[in-house]
Amino acid sequence: MKTKSSLVGSVMMAGMFFFVALSAHAGHDNDLLCQARAMDVSSDHLLTQYRKELKEGHGRPSRDETRLLQEICNLETLADRVRSAVENRESPSCVRTWMQKLRSAYNCTRSLADHVGACRCTKGMISNFGSQLCAAERALSSSCGRDDHRFGFGRGNDFRSPIGQALSRFARR
């Protein structure tokens, strides 16, 4: 009888650990989805704001201003694709590829906005988008099980949860 109850207890503990790991993974996915949606909305607002700024400007937009508008349109399209990829639960490598393209477009947009001399509101919205992009990249790396964005990773520091640490110790035995 004693071995049967210990076996049942072991199965229950394994099921509990599986449930905790599954719910933690779902929480990371939900965080990534929230960040992707926020980036999509932010990029829509940025595009609307810059178009409004160009309409209020005097005369025809310069070549650099037109190029900035194209880059902001590209940023908006990529943010929409990232949101779509996360909503459709595409593979992490696919989402990561879209995020890298989005990061590249963001860097180009930010430097071009500084060069063109966009208004403070537009620059602020670009900066806000950059913060959301960083948060989404952190959410993506944590949903994929990577902790390399945290300080001290690879230096012997263990940043996993106490349950994760206990599970890894249990697996080594």
Digit-by-digit pLDDT tens for the chain (173 residues) are 456 665 655 555 555 554 444 444 444 468 999 999 999 999 999 999 999 999 988 788 999 999 999 999 999 999 999 999 999 999 999 999 999 999 999 999 999 999 998 899 999 999 999 999 999 999 988 876 544 444 434 444 445 555 655 555 555 55
DSSP, collapsed to helix, strand or coil, labels residue 166 as helix
Number of structural domains in the chain: 1
Residue 120 maps to a domain: yes
Q: Looking at the domain assignment, is residue 111 inside a domain?
A: yes
Question: CATH number, domain at 59?
Answer: 1.20.120
* Res 6: pLDDT: 58
Half-sphere exposure of 10 (CA within 13 A, CB side): 7
Q: Which domain holds residue 133?
A: 24-141
Residue 65 is assigned to a structural domain of this protein: yes
Residue 30 lies in a domain: yes
pLDDT recorded at residue 82: 96
Q: How far is the C-alpha of 160 from the C-alpha of 157, rounded, in Å?
A: 9
Query: Does residue 125 fall inside a structural domain?
Result: yes
Q: What pLDDT does residue 28 have?
A: 45
